[in-house]
Structure 1
Amino acid sequence: MAAPALQKTSSAKKTTQWLWEAKSKGGEVKKGEMEAFDAEAVNARLKSLGLNPVKVKKKPYEINLPAFGGGVTGKDILIFTRQFATMIDAGLPLVQCLDILGSQMDNPIFRKVLFQIKAKVEQGSTFADALKEHPKVFDELFVQLCAAGEVGGILDTILNRLAAYREKAEKLKRKVKGAMIYPAIVLVVAIGVTALLLLKVTPVFAKMFGDFGSALPGPTQFVVDLSEWLQNWILHLLASIAAFFFTIVTIYRNPKGRKVMDKIMLKAPLFGPVLRKVAVARFTRTLGTMISSGVPILDALDVTAKTAGNRTVEEAIYYVRGKIAEGKNIAGPLSDTNVFPSMVVQMIGVGEATGAMDAMLNKIADFYDDEVDTAVAGLTAMIEPIMMVFLGGVVGGFLIAMYLPIFSIAGAIK
C-alpha cells in the first residue's frame, strides 16, 4: 500500500528556481539560474554542459509585479528570437539555448515563460507545443513557423526569418504610432492651453472689463460668455467626453461594432490610406514568410487572417481561403474582395503562375513598407502646419479679443 502513495508524492513534486555559479574548463566563472526539481539535478545539468558547479542555492521568493505596458513586449520577443536563432545556428542544443537566454533575461515574466518552455522540452515536448502553452507571449504565427522548422529540420533558418519578419513588423508599427501620436499630442496641448485661458485667464480680464462699465466688443463678449459657460458646465463636458470614449471602446470590443469601426477606419480621409497600406504590407509579409517556410497555403492564410489586425481585412482573407479550398487560385478571390489594390492582386497572380509567390509577396511587402514611409511623412508634413495654425489661431484670437476693449478705452481717452 505504501508504494502507490510514494509514487503519488513523487509525481506531485514541483520544479524550483535555482541560482547557480560554475566554472568553465578555462576557469571562467559563470552565473545563472535554472528550473529543476532539486540541487542534484542542477549539478548534473551543469556538468552535462561542461561546467564545474561551485555554488547552487534556491532562488529567493520574489513578487513579480506586472510590467508597465503589459508584461512581455514585442521588443522582448524580437531580441529573444534573434539571439535564439544565432545560438541554434551555432549548433547549441535547444535546451541549453533556452537555459542561457532565460538566465540572462531582464524581464521576470518572460524569464519565467522561457524556463517553463525549457522544462516542457526537457520532458519530451516539442518546442512548438511548449510555445503553444503561452499564447499571450507567442502568437500563432510564431508557433506555426517553429513547428514547420522543427519538422523540416531548419529551425535556425525559420528563426532567422521570424526575426527579420518581427523587425520589419515592429518598424512598421512604430511608423504608424508616430503618425498617430504627434497630432494627438499637439491637439491635447491646444485643448489644454485653451482650457487654461478660458478657466483661469479670462475671468481676470472679465472682472477688469466689468469695472469699466462699458459694452464689450463682439469678440471679447464671445470669449467671456464661452468662459462662463465652460466654468458652469466643465464637469458635464468631461463626463460627456468620458462617456464618448467609453462608448467607442465598448463598440470596438463587440465583434459587429469592431467590424464597422475597422471599415470606417480604412475609409477615413487622412488615416485611411495609410492604414490600408499597412494592412497590405502586413498581409503580404506574413503570408510570404509562412509560405517560404513551408507552411501549407490554407494554414498560412488562416494564421495571416488572425494576425491581420483589421476585421475587414480578416474577413477578406477568410473569403480567399474558402475559395482556394474549393480549388480556385488566389488572384481571383483577392480581386473579388475589393480590399487589396489591383496591382497587388496582379503581382500575386504572376507569382502564383510562376511558382514564386513567396518571393513576390515579400517584394510587395517591401514596396508597401516604403509606401507607408512616404504616406506617414506626407501625413505628418500636412498635419503639422494645420495644428500649428490652429494652436496659434486660438492663442492669437484670445489675445486680440482680450485687448480690444483696452484699445477702445485708450482711443476714447485720446
Structure 2
Amino acid sequence: MTTKQRAQLYHEFAKLLGAGMHLDRSVDLLLEQGPPASMRSYLNGIKQGLAERLSLTESVARHNAGIVTPLEISLLDAGEKGGRLEASCEHLAHYFELRQKSRDKAIGALIYPVLLLHVGALFPDFTRMWNGGGLQDYLLQTGGRLLIIWTALALVGAIWWFVLKLAAQSPGVDRLLGTIPLVGGARRHWALARFCQVFQTGLLAALRISEILRMAGKASQSAVLEGAGFQAAQSVEDGQALAPALKATGALPKTLGSAVDTAEQTGTLDIEMGRWARAEAELASRAQDRAAEWLPRIFYVLVLLYIAWRVISMALSYMGPNGMIQQMLDGI
C-alpha cells in the first residue's frame, strides 16, 4: 500500500471503531467501498485471519507480513491488548499523513529539475539534427542518453532503498545515515517519534516495561534504537530503573532520559511519552520539509551544470577547427 492509502485506511478504521462498529463489520464495510487492489488485499488478509479466530495483530502479521511495517504491528498489538485500538489507528493515520505531505512536497519540488534534465539531454542534439545531422542519428544518440539518465536515476533510488533497509538492521549504517546533512535529522526524528508513540501505547495497554521497550525499539525501524530498546529492556529486567536504563544506552537524547525520570516520579509517563511522540513527529516533518526544499535545489544546480556542459560541447562542435562554421568558411 502507498503511504496515502495507509493514512486513509487507518483513519477509516479509527472512525468506524469509534462509532462502535465491530472489527469484522468494519472490514466488510471498507471492502464494500471498492478500495484499491493493495488495500483490498490487506483487508482480505485481516478478514481471513479473523475467520481463523486470530486477533487483528495476528491476522495482519500472518496474512499481510509483506505489506505492513513494524510500527503498524507494534501499535496495533499494543492498542488491541489495551482496548485502545481506535487510538492506535488514529495515531497511524496521523503518522502516515505527515509522511505523505512531506513526500508530496519533495516530489513536487523535483518535477522541474527532472524536466530540465530531459531538456538538457534532448535539445543540443536536436539542433545538430536540424543542421543536417539526420533523424536516425538523433534518435540513437538521444535514446541512448535518456536510457543512461533513467538507469542512473533508478540505480540511485534502488541503492537508497537498500541502504534504508540495511539501516534497520545495521547500527553502523544507521549511524552513518544519521550524519548526512538534511536527511539524517529527518530520519532520527522519525525513528524517535515511532519509538515514543509505541512506548506510550504500550503504557496505556499496561504492558510490562521490558516488553514495551523491545516493541518500541523494533517499531522505530532504526538499528541503533532497536539495540537501545533491547539493552534497556534487559537492564530493567535486571532491576534497574527505566530512566537510568535508557540513559545508559547512549542512543536516546539526554533530555528524554531526564523527562522520563521526572515523569516516573510524578506518574505521568504515558503523557510525557505522548508529548515526545508528537513533538518528534513535528520535528521530523519539518526536517523532511527542509530536505524536500533543499535537495531539489542541489539537484537543480547539478542539472544546470550538466546543461552548461552540453551547451558548451555543442558550441565547440560548431566553432572548433573542424566545426560546421569552419567548414562553411572553407567552402566560401
Shared fold by TM > 0.5? yes
Q: Give the partner amino acid of 1:172.
A: L
Q: Give the partner amino acid of 2:51.
A: A
Verify the 8 A CA contact 1:348 1:357 in the aligned structure 2: yes
Residue 192, structure 1, aligned to residue 125, structure 2: no
C-alpha distance in 1 between matches for 2:90 and 2:176? 31
Matches within 5 A, 1:9-158: 69=1, 73-75=5-7, 77-88=9-20, 96-104=25-33, 106-107=35-36, 108-121=40-53, 130=59, 133-136=62-65, 139-149=72-82, 155=83, 158=84
Verify the 8 A CA contact 1:98 1:118 in the aligned structure 2: no
Aligned match of 2:95: 169
Give the CA deviation at 1:380. Answer: 3.7
Check 1:354–1:201 CA distance in 2 against 1; reply closer, same or farther (3 A cut). Answer: farther
Deviates more, 1:270-279 or 1:181-190: 181-190
Give the CA deviation at 1:142. Answer: 4.3
1:320 to 190, 213, 232: 232
1:261 to 163, 173, 186: 173
C-alpha distance in 2 between matches for 1:82 and 1:385? 39
Check 1:258–1:389 CA distance in 2 against 1; reply closer, same or farther (3 A cut). Answer: same
Deviates more, 1:367-376 or 1:164-173: 367-376
Aligned match of 1:275: 187
Where 1:347 maps in the other structure, the secondary structure is helix
C-alpha distance in 2 between matches for 1:388 and 1:255? 28
- State the structure with bigger RCO (CA 8 A, min sep 6), 1 or 2: 2
RMSD of the alignment, in Å? 4.3
C-alpha distance in 2 between matches for 1:307 and 1:395? 44
Verify the 8 A CA contact 1:81 1:159 in the aligned structure 2: no
- Which protein has the bigger helix share? 2
Structure 2, unmatched stretches of 5+, are 320-324
Q: Give the partner amino acid of 2:261.
A: G
Q: Give the partner amino acid of 2:120.
A: T
Where 2:182 maps in the other structure, the secondary structure is coil
Check 1:105–1:183 CA distance in 2 against 1; reply closer, same or farther (3 A cut). Answer: closer
Aligned match of 1:60: none
Structure 1, unmatched stretches of 5+, are 1-68, 150-154, 208-226
C-alpha distance in 1 between matches for 2:29 and 2:158? 44
Where 2:256 maps in the other structure, the secondary structure is helix
Verify the 8 A CA contact 2:167 2:173 in the aligned structure 1: no
Give the CA deviation at 1:310. Answer: 1.9
Q: Give the partner amino acid of 1:300.
A: I
Check 1:178–1:280 CA distance in 2 against 1; reply closer, same or farther (3 A cut). Answer: farther
- Which protein has the bigger strand share? 1
CA offsets 1:94-142 (integer angstroms, 9 cap, x no match):
5555554554453542443343244234xxx656555554352664324
CA offsets 1:298-318 (integer angstroms, 9 cap, x no match):
222222122111222221222
Aligned match of 2:282: 370
Aligned match of 1:345: 257
Larger radius of gyration: 1
| Identity level (%) | 17
Check 1:191–1:320 CA distance in 2 against 1; reply closer, same or farther (3 A cut). Answer: farther
Deviates more, 1:288-297 or 1:354-363: 288-297
C-alpha distance in 1 between matches for 2:156 and 2:111? 19
